[in-house]
Structure 1
Amino acid sequence: MNAAASPFHAGELAIQERVGVREQMAGAAAFIRDHMPAQHREFFQSLPFFFLGALDAAGQPWATMLAADAGFIVSPDARTLDFNGGMLPGDPLQGQLHAGAHVGGLGLEPTTRRRNRVNGEIVSTDNGVLRIAITQSFGNCPQYIQHRQHSPAPDDGHAVQVLRAGKLSDADRALIARADTFFIASANMASDAGRGRGVDVSHRGGRPGFVRVDDDQTLTSPEFVGNYFFNTMGNLLTSPRAGLLFIDFESGDMLHLAVEAEIIWDGPQLQAFVGAEKLLRFHVREVVRNVGALPFRWTAPQPAMQVARTGNWTEADSVQSAAALVKGWRSFAVADVVRESDGVRSFYLEPADGAGVAPHVPGQFISLRVPAWADEGVAPQIRSYTISDAPNGRQYRISVKRDGVVSAWLHQHLAPGALVELMGPGGEFTFEEGTQRPVVMLSAGIGITPMIAMLNGLLVNGSRTRHKHPIWFVHGARSRSEHAFAAHLDALAAGHNNLHLHTRYSSQDGHIDMVMLKELLPFDDYDFYLCGPAAFMQAMYDGLRKLNVADARIRFEAFGPASLRRDAGRVAKQAVTEPASGPVEIRFERSGVDATWDGKHSSLLELAEASGVEAPSGCRSGLCGSCAAGLAGGDVSYTRSCGTEPEAGQVLLCSVVPRAGSGALTLAL
């Protein structure tokens, strides 16, 4: 898009480019009009309050609320809004609104969660009527708006008290700490900002505690998934000054803050806060509190549905602290058990040790340590299970198919209140952030679990998507009754136009194969994600490679028995520092088996399994430590940084290969 013709200025376009949505947002420019549709005009005229952003004489943005009787806003034509009063005593914008000044406006109705935006320029203030010429008009979705009903404030005869300070008081900090809503004004008045030049005011909502008071002059707030216009973020990128408005809906206080903002793009705090795309840190420069200024009071809020999958700072701090605990075994309690299909149950696990849940990325897994149960003659076992949901900051969910001794024990013994030990999360099978390619997810059976977690992380809030390109999800199951999460997937596909859902039931149509994929997928350059039984994954991998799909474009779940043999080119790419370049003789001492390492296996664990040696394993990624084995002779090289440190004289079979020059190896297996 030509920046001069765009309604977005350079700062907004830069952030759209950074997060990979600029091309898609070019089409959204059509929704930003230079006039108000009839329904917007009618909506504004029905409101008894209106949110406004403007600059003071020093160029500082302020956010405020104009309030009066319904009808104080009039739209004489599609490009004009008139405000007959509404400015409250002590407002920091008193005396600052004059002809030629730019303003941003937001009409919001909490009871219907409806909101519409206008930006423009003041053309006159004659006879106390503020007339605004509209330059931009567009609707906003109802995300994060809390339902509240207003009523007239009691007339107690008290004059409004205005408190001014350079930092937050204890009362200010308490109001912000419990807030579920605030408003932010920002501006870009640069001469080269084109059609995007002006002031903006926006709404922010979340669970109580979503804004953290770091100290008496610093706040930190998350930025959740929005409309991808990035009006506020784009303004702050070019001009960091902003104005915040917090409202005490019970007392009618208005807390105005003049701040400077910084954008936090990454880091542990961002990773720990569920739902946050970025963080904004606000440095407070001036505080104006109008005590009891508003002529309204509001009922208790009914939270917006979108906030349920977002965090607050209490949880985020707990998650961040728990990140240091991923390498040790911890006690978790079963909070709930849900049947997902014939043979599959989901177990919701919450910390029982008083600490938080460590952060995870959709697609990662945890390892469970199942105790021995003597009456059934079973020794202690370690098994790894994918976390089958996106992070929520409070619990993990694993979804287990009853297929084997350990899974049968979980189905039989894990009821709400039961305790289990787990380690992690870990694993590298995650969605490639920022990819601009369409995606194909291929799964079979219980291999659906990482795909569900990824989809739940990408497709949010009813219709929003963090991946703007097509997602093709192809899943195989025996039958509908054995298809876990079928109803959930149907709901996702109904709400997200970029999700294309295809299922094949083997009892009716046979298995997923390359013929089906070639018929289904349009010609394009895809990223592929695989998870399922070993034979399925190998067939998909081999078939894609024969179609000249680059090895680097094929990702797969790497733990459990469904290990996959990559082609020789990939093995060479994964060669580590100082691996053995020639044949190495391997002696599995306890089993009495001799084998030769020739570089065709990715680890000594794979060589042991291929040689018929019974070798313990769990996560297969160096996290759980269950594959530790004694090294009686020779030396090894690690292929990755592992989350578990084996005991002296032991190595983690899943993560080692013979080291160059080590000579023959002897393993105590």
Structure 2
Amino acid sequence: MTPFHAGELAIQERVGVRDHMAGAAAFIRDFMPEQHRQFYASLPFFFLGALDAAGQPWATMLAAGPGFVSTPDEHTLHIGGGMLAGDPLEGQLRVGDHVGGLGLEPTTRRRNRVNGEIVAADEGGLRIAVTQSFGNCPQYIQHRQHSAAPDDGRKVQVLRGVALTAADRELIARADTFFIASANMKADAGRGRGVDVSHRGGRPGFVRVDDERTLTSPEFVGNFFFNTLGNVAEYPRAGLLFIDFERGDLLHIAVEAEIIWDGPRLQAFAGAERLLRFHVREVVRNAGALPFRWTAPQPAMQNARTGSWEEADRAQSAAALTTSWRTFTVADVVRESADVRSFHLEPADGLGVAAHVPGQFVSVRVPEWADGGAASQIRSYTISDAPNGRRYRVSVKRDGVVSSWLHAHLAPGAQIELMGPGGDFTFEEGTQRPAVLLSAGIGITPMIAMLNGLLVNGSRTRHRHPIHFIHGARETAHPFAVHLQTLAAGHSNLSVHVQSKRIDINLLRELLPFDDYDFYLCGPAGFMQTMYEGLRKLNVPDQRIRFEAFGPASVRRSDVAGTQAVAAAAGPVPVHFVRSGVEAIWDGSHGSLLELAEANGVAAPSGCRSGLCGSCAAGLESGDVAYTRRCSTQPEAGQVLLCSVAPRAGASEIALAL
């Protein structure tokens, strides 16, 4: 029988991990390992979740000397006191009640969970029959050292209400930690029936105080058990505990919880998988009750990949500016290889960075410069890292006029104009197939961004299927070599193959076991076309091959019908490039009029090649065109975006001012 109840299984199914989590059931025992028993006995405090007589879950912290939590045997947990006066669970715990326990040691970031049923409750304490016992990883736990509270004469006060006071809101707004109790007591919950108490951590400000009756908190990547979310899906009531580590206050909040699965708020919060919104029912503040105080925290390493609500608000404001040029400041420059540098860019206007999806790009506009004699030019570069809510990273190979200028002129403190992010070359969310990330040269950048988005926190993966990273690089010391080795060492589902010679289809057939893959391609034009055609000859469906190209490189698909609007003409349509004096025929084999122009030697301006930057706008002198994609930029009257248009079905001819 599975230790997960229907609510937990439903969420595992929704996020695509249910089959993989079936094997994790073995880690949830009905007894405590010896190391857990020794760990509990060493703790001077212990976290508990339980229901009151009205069925409301509460989370609390018990505190006493080491040894007040003991284990007479591997199936029994004994708690000898530790409940503080004024605790909302005081006098509420009786034989037959279910409780959730959490032992946590901030100095080592160690934590273990134990859930069970009270079988005895008397003056000697609580005796609990263990139903579930398992360890948790140290993610998001802030390092703190406790000591005895000073005797400052402060009296303990118990403050009750139905809304958050100003002091409560201030504590929550600066909190980097809270605990949440939840429950599923349905008769059909099986081995998953009971109460749970869990830890949540993040950067200060990761819990938003929407108003005196509402809070919102992000859910980051965890162990995929989904104990809390599964309980909330079945029984929305929950209990929150915030601790004032400096003053020794305990803030207990009874709430109704709801899961938010999508929306702009979620997208704007870096690292968030989903959100929990809490509606306040009751508040109990046990002021000055704890006999401990704690040192200032040392943040968990996982915090660096997460945001705060202040940053998320700025990101939402910036989302409206993705089609405008904004000034960014170079915060750092990192040499990745002999000819590749990463530029870390932060907004100069204080509005934050618009959220992006790994694989997307920004367009860069370099100014006129005296030494090169060139006019302002636009180029597009992949954001080479997953979102962190504070900056973009673009990794640029010194190749061409603009890229060389960036290498020569961008140093910390310099400023540059950006537009975006944009683009649709992103990892398919929720896919259940193995993935092949296939790149050459500087085409490695979107693949690194995707990996950094999928593989997080040292060992966690958002894609619980094999990922094959295959890269061809001329140089032996290619960009991100050490980073790739680190990722491969920490994630068993990632295999990495990098070679200095050309990658071809024969190599793929040697490296990949027979399976049903999603392919992601990025690199120079010849590489892209060759790999695409080779995969199609192996009967890989067109829709399973996604790609990004740099410069004029663009893949000619063998299944054009699925990639263009139904209004586009199949041909033949005469196309006149008036200023160049070039006559060409549209026959449906090119993806856009920009590609047709380049194929016929017509010098056509371009930048992002996805309808974002507008640099490919050209005058339409006659004829009728159809857009093959939705574009972020609208050209001026009488102009079209060459990268995103084709002759409309029925057009007799096209004339362009090129």
Which category of TM-score, normalised to the shorter sequence, fits these structures?
A: over 0.9
CA distance in structure 2 between the aligned counterparts of 1:416 and 1:546, rounded to whole angstroms: 48
Q: CA RMSD in A?
A: 0.9
Q: After the TM superposition, which residues 226-237 of structure 1 pair with which residues of structure 2 at under 5 Å, given as runs?
A: 226-237=222-233
Match of 2:541 among 540, 550, 573: 550
Shift of residue 581, structure 1, vs aligned partner: 4.2
1:375 maps to a residue whose letter is D
Runs of 4+ aligned residues of structure 1 deviating over 6 Å after TM superposition are: none
CA distance in structure 1 between the aligned counterparts of 2:286 and 2:223, rounded to whole angstroms: 32
Equivalent pair of 2:20/2:464 in contact (CA under 8 Å): yes
CA distance in structure 2 between the aligned counterparts of 1:619 and 1:155, rounded to whole angstroms: 65
Q: After the TM superposition, which residues 148-163 of structure 1 pair with which residues of structure 2 at under 5 Å, given as runs?
A: 148-163=144-159
Task: Give the number of equivalent residue pairs.
Answer: 658
Deviations 1:462-512 (A, max 9, x none): 00000000000000111222x000001011101111110001112xxxx11
Are residue 493 (structure 1) and residue 488 (structure 2) matched?
yes
The residue that corresponds to 1:208 in the other structure is 204
The residue that corresponds to 2:128 in the other structure is 132
Are residue 586 (structure 1) and residue 575 (structure 2) matched?
yes
Q: After the TM superposition, which residues 516-595 of structure 1 pair with which residues of structure 2 at under 5 Å, given as runs?
A: 516-558=507-549, 560-567=551-558, 570-595=559-584
Equivalent pair of 1:587/1:593 in contact (CA under 8 Å): yes
Instruction: Give SS of 1:282's match.
Output: strand
The residue that corresponds to 1:476 in the other structure is 472
Bigger mean CA deviation after superposition, 465-474 or 376-385: 376-385
CA distance in structure 1 between the aligned counterparts of 2:113 and 2:406, rounded to whole angstroms: 52
CA distance in structure 2 between the aligned counterparts of 1:368 and 1:270, rounded to whole angstroms: 27
1:542 maps to a residue whose letter is E
Q: After the TM superposition, which residues 351-390 of structure 1 pair with which residues of structure 2 at under 5 Å, given as runs?
A: 351-390=347-386
Match of 2:608 among 614, 619, 630: 619
Shift of residue 84, structure 1, vs aligned partner: 1.1
Match of 2:67 among 64, 71, 77: 71
Q: Provide closer, same or farther for how the CA distance between residues 126 and 354 of structure 1 changes in structure 2, counting only shifts above 3 A.
A: closer
Instruction: Give SS of 1:606's match.
Output: helix
Shift of residue 388, structure 1, vs aligned partner: 0.3
CA distance in structure 2 between the aligned counterparts of 1:375 and 1:491, rounded to whole angstroms: 41
Match of 2:655 among 652, 658, 666: 666
Equivalent pair of 2:253/2:283 in contact (CA under 8 Å): yes
Instruction: Give SS of 1:591's match.
Output: coil
1:632 maps to a residue whose letter is E
Instruction: Give SS of 2:26's match.
Output: helix
Equivalent pair of 1:577/1:637 in contact (CA under 8 Å): no
Deviations 1:263-301 (A, max 9, x none): 000000000000000000000000000010001000000
CA distance in structure 2 between the aligned counterparts of 1:333 and 1:381, rounded to whole angstroms: 18
Are residue 306 (structure 1) and residue 302 (structure 2) matched?
yes
Equivalent pair of 1:429/1:558 in contact (CA under 8 Å): no
Equivalent pair of 1:559/1:621 in contact (CA under 8 Å): no
1:498 maps to a residue whose letter is N
2:515 maps to a residue whose letter is D
Are residue 350 (structure 1) and residue 339 (structure 2) matched?
no
Are residue 29 (structure 1) and residue 20 (structure 2) matched?
no
Shift of residue 155, structure 1, vs aligned partner: 2.3
Shift of residue 663, structure 1, vs aligned partner: 2.3
The residue that corresponds to 2:499 in the other structure is 504
Where structure 1 has 5 or more consecutive residues not aligned to the other structure, the ranges are: none
Instruction: Give SS of 2:320's match.
Output: helix
Match of 1:48 among 37, 40, 44: 44
Equivalent pair of 2:119/2:128 in contact (CA under 8 Å): yes
CA distance in structure 1 between the aligned counterparts of 2:92 and 2:125, rounded to whole angstroms: 14
Equivalent pair of 1:72/1:83 in contact (CA under 8 Å): yes
Match of 1:190 among 167, 176, 186: 186
CA distance in structure 1 between the aligned counterparts of 2:144 and 2:432, rounded to whole angstroms: 40
The residue that corresponds to 2:85 in the other structure is 89
Shift of residue 414, structure 1, vs aligned partner: 0.6
Are residue 322 (structure 1) and residue 318 (structure 2) matched?
yes
Equivalent pair of 1:176/1:246 in contact (CA under 8 Å): yes
CA distance in structure 2 between the aligned counterparts of 1:534 and 1:661, rounded to whole angstroms: 31
Instruction: Give SS of 1:375's match.
Output: coil
Are residue 145 (structure 1) and residue 136 (structure 2) matched?
no
Percent identity between matched residues is: 78
Tell me the TM-score normalised to structure 1 length.
0.97
Instruction: Give SS of 2:94's match.
Output: coil
Match of 1:655 among 644, 650, 657: 644
Bigger mean CA deviation after superposition, 579-588 or 442-451: 579-588
Shift of residue 195, structure 1, vs aligned partner: 0.4
Instruction: Give SS of 2:362's match.
Output: strand
Are residue 637 (structure 1) and residue 626 (structure 2) matched?
yes
2:511 maps to a residue whose letter is L
CA distance in structure 2 between the aligned counterparts of 1:535 and 1:580, rounded to whole angstroms: 26
1:124 maps to a residue whose letter is A
Deviations 1:293-330 (A, max 9, x none): 00100000000101111000000111111000000101
Instruction: Give SS of 2:233's match.
Output: helix
Equivalent pair of 2:552/2:598 in contact (CA under 8 Å): no
Q: After the TM superposition, which residues 407-426 of structure 1 pair with which residues of structure 2 at under 5 Å, given as runs?
A: 407-426=403-422
Are residue 467 (structure 1) and residue 458 (structure 2) matched?
no
The residue that corresponds to 2:169 in the other structure is 173
CA distance in structure 1 between the aligned counterparts of 2:421 and 2:100, rounded to whole angstroms: 45
Q: Provide closer, same or farther for how the CA distance between residues 575 and 308 of structure 1 changes in structure 2, counting only shifts above 3 A.
A: closer
1:651 maps to a residue whose letter is V
Instruction: Give SS of 2:371's match.
Output: helix
Where structure 2 has 5 or more consecutive residues not aligned to the other structure, the ranges are: none
Equivalent pair of 1:558/1:621 in contact (CA under 8 Å): no
The residue that corresponds to 1:286 in the other structure is 282
CA distance in structure 1 between the aligned counterparts of 2:438 and 2:377, rounded to whole angstroms: 29
CA distance in structure 2 between the aligned counterparts of 1:227 and 1:573, rounded to whole angstroms: 38
Shift of residue 648, structure 1, vs aligned partner: 1.0
Instruction: Give SS of 1:233's match.
Output: helix
Shift of residue 559, structure 1, vs aligned partner: 5.0
2:358 maps to a residue whose letter is P
CA distance in structure 1 between the aligned counterparts of 2:551 and 2:127, rounded to whole angstroms: 67
Shift of residue 578, structure 1, vs aligned partner: 2.4
